[in-house]
Amino acid sequence: SLWGVCSSGLGGRSLTQGIADTALCVAASAVVADAAATALGNACNVQSPKVRRILAEKVEPDTDIAGLLVTESVADLSEFEIDAAIDSASIYAHGLVHDNVILGAVVSLSGKVAVTGGFADKVAPLELI
């Protein structure tokens, strides 16, 4: 059985509404993993004056998400803010696993990491070729 692994996060080549350093999803296909990683990256979020947001079209004039705010930069967050953002992403990721959208996920922010369980019973062992 094949599956896809994709990631998203602040500082990558795409725009994000979230603040995750990394949001990684494993799914039954790369298309689903990619969409889920984007959504998970957006879910890693907190309202804070330390998060600077601007309209997407100010960053990328030809964007398909014109009118939406995207994250431009993040100053040093408090432990509380980091925990709140990680918790938000973790809840979202567990919902995606529960709904069988993805097989599992990892999200990281400022050195903290959240991982969904259940990978072992959902993916086939790797075979060396």
Dihedral sign for Cα atoms in the order 96, 20, 56, 76 = positive
11-70 pLDDT, tens per residue? 867 899 999 999 999 999 999 999 999 999 999 999 999 999 999 999 999 999 999 999
CB of 89 within 8 A of CB of 12? no
Rg (C-alpha) for the chain, rounded Å, is: 15
The Cα–Cα gap between 37 and 20 comes to 10
Amino acid at 9: G
Tokens of 81: 């803010």
Question: Buried (b) or exposed (e) across 64-90, using 16+ Cβ within 10 A?
Answer: eeeeeebbeebeebeeebbbbbbebbb
71-127 pLDDT, tens per residue? 999 999 999 999 999 999 999 999 999 999 999 999 999 999 999 876 555 555 544
Whole-prediction pTM: 0.88
